[in-house]
């Protein structure tokens, strides 16, 4: 059953009743589906709501809400029990939601202001509060010196107090209204549009303020070009932050509440649940944490001064109850701890069950795909001799090609100088026998000569080497530690056609049956000829065009992923293999980049993969 999204027609609903349609219990996280909801499911750049779902026998503290095929999942920790068909009361954290609405409407006002000033420019994407980012990306250039004018126009739109309205419409109606859709939207579903005053409507699924006069002060902060889109960052300020201390005092004298009883209830329920979880886990020092002078209860109790006089009495009663509940729960710890020493029949605390990290999942999938065609997964050291990382790969000391790898060197004595170099027989300098410099592997190509040695220089060789690599680099598409996978095939009569067939096999199995590979001439020291490898874009099917416009995902129809080529004779020689008898191909590239290009994933900053952010990682 689909969940009715009440917030689409009334974004000011703070509380509502609903019926539980379905419940899934996964260890500590409970997922609740309802017949209708006021909780905003994350999407359209707006973060999910948090809050509580209270039934007669239990309460879910909602920590994330997401949309899944028409159904909305409310995820969180459950205390007590909830059952199908229970009637429950939903309360959202209104302060947070209102801030999200401010950010979202501000994004639309910014979009409108830009359209008013620069004709034919429109926003194609935006984020309003997710991971603390607020921006709109525009299709055409916006110059930094245009920002003051945009700022003025925003202020005009807000000062004009324009009504903001929303409406559900069909695709045909959208067409008839002549509304420009900046991006592709599902054709089989009705759409929601929003309009600011009499300006043309735009598609929107988020929660909006009722009038631009309600907007907190919006400031346009910067503009940056990113892959041919112009990203304008903005922020909003709570008006209180701008107001003088006198005006806040005046507000208090006028008895305008800064915190509502509803918000206090949300915080109180969260606190009670946290205590219960801590008690269940047997965490130490709970008394100080909750009931100490600067403990969580006193922090909550302090907010009573910000509650309006009409609700203050009820708030006081609520706080008394919370304190009693915390005290009772903490008493249980002491008895529990005493008992646990002797009561061996008590059930244990269930561990939180996670899942494999997305990069590990990707590595396993890559391994499976290559194993299907006879490759063997191997793994070689990530701290290795310079010999394997560079020199055996046709890059003698001081060769300029080494500069492409921003190498971390390991500070151990270099014994190279003790060794005579014999250019006719590079294996004489084999460092596991004679020493040399030590580096953190900059690529998985270090496995090539190691594998030839492991196989006693006797093909056929067919390996896939997946390992950590390190380089001095850090930005949205690079991390200092990352993973690469490397393929190597050596046998008699191996040709470029075998390489191309292998790349196509991978493309079709990893990305989808219609994806193709393409190789372009390039240069690597360890292959001849060398290529760069591209895969066709699964969104535009390699055409670079979606609905008559440039494909936003790839811009050109293809994604560049890595390098490949026919193994250089000097590399074969370094591994003791006769290049007159055998040939081979190799390829290698980054696991993270390969993974983030998968259909359905939209990760624009690979550093997120290593941010240890559970909420982010749980999505995969
Ligand atoms: N090792 C290269 C790098 O990290 C990638 C590469 C290119 C690997 C060509 C190969 C190859 O095996 O044949 O940039």
Rounded to the nearest angstrom, the distance between the alpha carbon of 485 and the centre of ligand 1 is 9
Best of 370, 378, 440, 486 to mutate for ligand 1, by most ligand atoms within 8 A of CB?
Answer: 486
Which are the contacts of 474, defined by CB distance < 8 A and separation ≥ 6?
480, 607
* Number of the ligand 1 atom closest to the C-alpha atom of 445: 1
Domains of the chain, with CATH numbers? 4-92 (2.40.30.130), 98-254 (3.30.980.10), 261-338 (no CATH), 358-617 (3.30.930.10)
Q: How far apart (Å, rounded) are the C-alpha atoms in residues 276 and 384?
A: 50
CA distances from residue 495 to 464, 489, 523 in whole angstroms, order as listed: 18, 10, 18
Question: Please, are residues 397 and 377 in contact by the beta-carbon 8 Å criterion?
Answer: no
Rounded to the nearest angstrom, the distance between the alpha carbon of 423 and the centre of ligand 1 is 24
pLDDT in tens, 543-568: 999 889 998 888 899 999 999 999 99
Of all protein residues, the one whose alpha carbon is nearest to atom 13 of ligand 1 is: 564
Question: Please, are residues 469 and 479 in contact by the beta-carbon 8 Å criterion?
Answer: no
Q: Which helix (H) or strand (E) holds 60?
A: strand 58-68
* Number of the ligand 1 atom closest to the C-alpha atom of 484: 4
Rounded to the nearest angstrom, the distance between the alpha carbon of 533 and the centre of ligand 1 is 10
Of all protein residues, the one whose alpha carbon is nearest to atom 12 of ligand 1 is: 587
Rounded to the nearest angstrom, the distance between the alpha carbon of 583 and the centre of ligand 1 is 17
> DSSP letters along 64-77, please?
EEEEETTEEEEEEE
Rounded to the nearest angstrom, the distance between the alpha carbon of 471 and the centre of ligand 1 is 14
> 40: which DSSP letter?
P
Rounded to the nearest angstrom, the distance between the alpha carbon of 579 and the centre of ligand 1 is 19
Please name the residue ranges forming H helices in 217-350. 239-242, 245-253, 261-281, 286-291, 296-302, 309-340
CB atoms within 10 A of CB 290: 23
Query: Which stretches of the chain drop beneath a pLDDT of 70?
Result: 182-188, 240-258, 334-343, 414-435
Question: Please, are residues 41 and 16 in contact by the beta-carbon 8 Å criterion?
Answer: no
Q: What is the pTM for the complete model shown?
A: 0.47
> What per-residue confidence (pLDDT) applies to 425?
52
**Main-chain dihedrals φ then ψ at residue 480, nearest 5 degrees:** -65, -35
Rounded to the nearest angstrom, the distance between the alpha carbon of 537 and the centre of ligand 1 is 22
Of all protein residues, the one whose alpha carbon is nearest to atom 7 of ligand 1 is: 563
Best of 462, 521, 563 to mutate for ligand 1, by most ligand atoms within 8 A of CB?
Answer: 563
Rounded to the nearest angstrom, the distance between the alpha carbon of 531 and the centre of ligand 1 is 9
> What per-residue confidence (pLDDT) applies to 340?
52
DSSP reduced 3-state for 454: helix
Question: What's the CA angle centered on 89, arms 86 and 95, to 5 degrees?
Answer: 150
Best of 389, 470, 506, 526 to mutate for ligand 1, by most ligand atoms within 8 A of CB?
Answer: 526
Closest among 321, 328, 327, 214 to 264, alpha carbons compared: 321
pLDDT in tens, 91-135: 998 888 999 999 999 999 999 999 999 988 888 889 998 888 899
> What per-residue confidence (pLDDT) applies to 557?
94
Of all protein residues, the one whose alpha carbon is nearest to atom 3 of ligand 1 is: 443
Q: How far apart (Å, rounded) are the C-alpha atoms in residues 504 and 517?
A: 5
Rounded to the nearest angstrom, the distance between the alpha carbon of 554 and the centre of ligand 1 is 22
Rounded to the nearest angstrom, the distance between the alpha carbon of 132 and the centre of ligand 1 is 37
Of all protein residues, the one whose alpha carbon is nearest to atom 8 of ligand 1 is: 588
> What per-residue confidence (pLDDT) applies to 183?
63
> What per-residue confidence (pLDDT) applies to 185?
67
* Number of the ligand 1 atom closest to the C-alpha atom of 487: 12
Helix axes 94-117, 147-159, angle to 10 degrees: 120
- Dmax over CA atoms of the chain, in Å, equals 93
* Number of the ligand 1 atom closest to the C-alpha atom of 448: 12
* Number of the ligand 1 atom closest to the C-alpha atom of 442: 4
> What per-residue confidence (pLDDT) applies to 255?
42
Best of 561, 589, 591, 593 to mutate for ligand 1, by most ligand atoms within 8 A of CB?
Answer: 589
Rounded to the nearest angstrom, the distance between the alpha carbon of 443 and the centre of ligand 1 is 7
Q: How far apart (Å, rounded) are the C-alpha atoms in residues 40 and 359?
A: 29
Say if strands 4-5 and 36-37 run parallel, antiparallel, or are unpaired. parallel
Query: Which structure tokens are listed for 520?
Result: 């372009």
Question: Using a 6 Å CB cutoff, which residues line ligand 1?
Answer: 443, 445, 486, 524, 527, 562-565, 586-588
Rounded to the nearest angstrom, the distance between the alpha carbon of 347 and the centre of ligand 1 is 53
Question: Please, are residues 235 and 215 in contact by the beta-carbon 8 Å criterion?
Answer: no
């Amino acid at each position: 059953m689909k969940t009715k999204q009440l917030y689409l027609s009334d974004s000011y609903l703070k509380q509502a009743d609903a019926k539980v349609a379905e419940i899934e219990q996964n260890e500590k996280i409970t997922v609740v589906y309802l017949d209708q909801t006021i909780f905003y499911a994350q999407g359209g750049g707006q973060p999910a709501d948090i809050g509580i779902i209270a039934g007669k026998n239990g309460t879910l503290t909602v920590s994330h809400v997401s949309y899944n095929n028409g159904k909305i999942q409310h995820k969180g920790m459950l205390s007590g029990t909830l059952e199908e068909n229970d009637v429950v009361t939903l309360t959202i954290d209104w302060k947070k939601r209102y801030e999200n609405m401010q950010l979202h409407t501000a994004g639309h006002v910014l979009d409108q202001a830009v359209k008013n000033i620069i004709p034919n420019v429109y926003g194609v994407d935006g984020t309003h509060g997710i991971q603390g980012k607020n921006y709109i990306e525009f299709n055409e250039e916006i110059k930094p010196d245009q920002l003051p004018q945009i700022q003025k126009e925003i202020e005009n739109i807000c000062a004009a107090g324009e009504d903001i309205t929303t409406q559900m419409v069909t695709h045909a109606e959208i067409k008839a209204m002549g509304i420009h859709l900046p991006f592709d939207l599902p054709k089989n579903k009705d759409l929601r549009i929003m309009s600011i005053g009499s300006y043309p409507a735009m598609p929107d699924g988020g929660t909006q303020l009722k009038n631009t006069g309600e907007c907190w002060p919006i400031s346009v902060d910067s503009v940056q070009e990113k892959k041919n889109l112009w990203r304008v960052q903005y922020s909003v300020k709570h008006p209180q932050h701008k107001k003088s201390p006198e005006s806040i005092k005046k507000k208090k004298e006028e008895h305008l509440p800064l915190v509502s009883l509803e918000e206090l209830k949300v915080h109180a329920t969260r606190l009670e649940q946290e205590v219960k979880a801590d008690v269940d886990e047997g965490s130490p020092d709970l008394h100080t944490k909750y009931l100490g002078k600067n403990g969580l209860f006193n922090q909550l109790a302090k907010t009573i001064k910000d509650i309006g006089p009409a609700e203050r009495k009820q708030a006081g009663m609520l706080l008394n109850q919370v304190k009693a509940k915390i005290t009772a729960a903490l008493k249980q710890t002491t008895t529990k701890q005493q008992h646990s020493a002797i009561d061996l029949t008590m059930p244990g605390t269930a561990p939180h069950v996670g899942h494999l990290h997305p990069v590990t999942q990707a590595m396993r999938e890559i391994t499976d795909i290559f194993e299907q065609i006879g490759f063997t997964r191997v793994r070689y050291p990530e701290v290795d001799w310079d010999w394997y990382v560079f020199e055996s790969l046709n890059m003698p000391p001081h060769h300029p090609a080494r500069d492409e790898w921003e190498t971390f060197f390991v500070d151990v004595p270099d014994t190279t100088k003790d060794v005579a170099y014999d250019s006719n027989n590079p294996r004489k300098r084999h460092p596991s026998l004679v020493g040399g410099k030590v580096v953190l592997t900059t690529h998985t190509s270090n496995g090539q000569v190691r594998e030839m040695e492991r196989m006693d220089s006797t093909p056929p060789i067919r390996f896939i080497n997946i390992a950590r690599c390190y380089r001095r680099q850090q930005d949205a598409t690079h991390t200092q530690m990352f993973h690469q996978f490397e393929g190597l095939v050596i046998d008699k009569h191996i040709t470029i056609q075998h390489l191309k067939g292998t790349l196509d096999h991978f493309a079709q199995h990893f990305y989808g049956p219609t994806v193709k590979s393409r190789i372009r001439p390039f240069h690597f020291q360890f292959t001849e000829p060398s290529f760069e490898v591209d895969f066709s874009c699964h969104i535009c099917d390699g055409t670079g065009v979606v609905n008559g416009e440039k494909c936003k995902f790839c811009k050109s129809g293809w994604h560049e992923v890595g390098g490949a080529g026919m193994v250089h004779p000097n590399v074969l020689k370094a591994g003791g293999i006769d290049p007159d008898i055998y040939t081979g191909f190799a390829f290698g590239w980054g696991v993270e980049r390969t993974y983030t290009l998968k259909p359905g994933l939209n990760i624009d900053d690979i550093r997120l993969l290593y941010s240890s952010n559970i909420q982010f990682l749980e999505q995969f």
